[in-house]
Structure 1
Amino acid sequence: SQQLLFPITVDLTLPQFALVKEHIEWFERLGFVMKLFGGQTVVIDAVPALGQPHNGETLFQQIVDELEHPPVADLNPEERVALAFASRAGITKGVPLSQQEMNALMNDLFATSMPYVSPHGRPILVRMSMEEIERKFNKR
């Protein structure tokens, strides 16, 4: 976890607050250090240390939103928290990476059991023949 200089106060709806209260241990396992405060408020003292800059409040709110409205059906609550975290905490498009970071990312990807799809089931990479590539770039 990355300790915050100033705690973040997040006001939630009653259903969101109930979800956070129910799954607080999972948020803590991800690296959030927080206290439930009042009827609908969460005070966040630390956020996950992800190795890249991120907005802890936005990350927290996005995870809560995905818990409340899961994009993938048939997941238990713990899997929904993990899915939300994985999809929100990952490297985003447009962020430059060093060669070492790219190599580590590919090694980590191929060490997983499902390297070809994102947590939401979208393709990460596809296999194409040379003929397909040439056809797509009008080389034939």
Structure 2
Amino acid sequence: MESKVIDNLMEKYLNGETSLQEEARLRDYFGSGWVAPHLQEYIPLFAYFQMSREENYSGKIHFHKGKKRVYSWVGIAASIVLAAGLFLQQPNKTTEFGSYEDPELAMQRTKEALQLVSQYMNSGTEELVYLKEFDNAKNKISRK
């Protein structure tokens, strides 16, 4: 009867479904020395767990508190100084696009610029004629 209970507990243990009390029962069982032959392979596992629970570390643990915090503040300060330096080095640039004193000359230059834009836009629409022909051919085919 005990064997079936231990087998069930082992199956639950291997699936990660045991409670702490059930694991303590398994530790006691494998530590008792009376282990069923088909469960002998698990003795080293539970012996290792028992041995590791009894280990103590006697060395000193050193914590380095302040250095990391100082480095982060130095990095933040350096970033602020760098940003301020870049901002202050930029001269106030005002871009003059030019203005015309003569309104007729300004009107002429504006017309030239708009004519240039119109020319480039019209050159792009020439290619659309081919698309219109393609669309007409497609419509003729789809009507049939």
TM-score range, shorter chain: under 0.3
Normalised by the length of structure 1, the TM-score is 0.20
Which of 1 and 2 has higher RCO (CA within 8 Å, sep 6+)?
1
Name the structure where strand makes up a greater proportion of residues: 1
Name the structure where helix makes up a greater proportion of residues: 2
Computing the radius of gyration over CA atoms, which structure comes out larger, 1 or 2?
Answer: 2
Normalised by the length of structure 2, the TM-score is 0.19
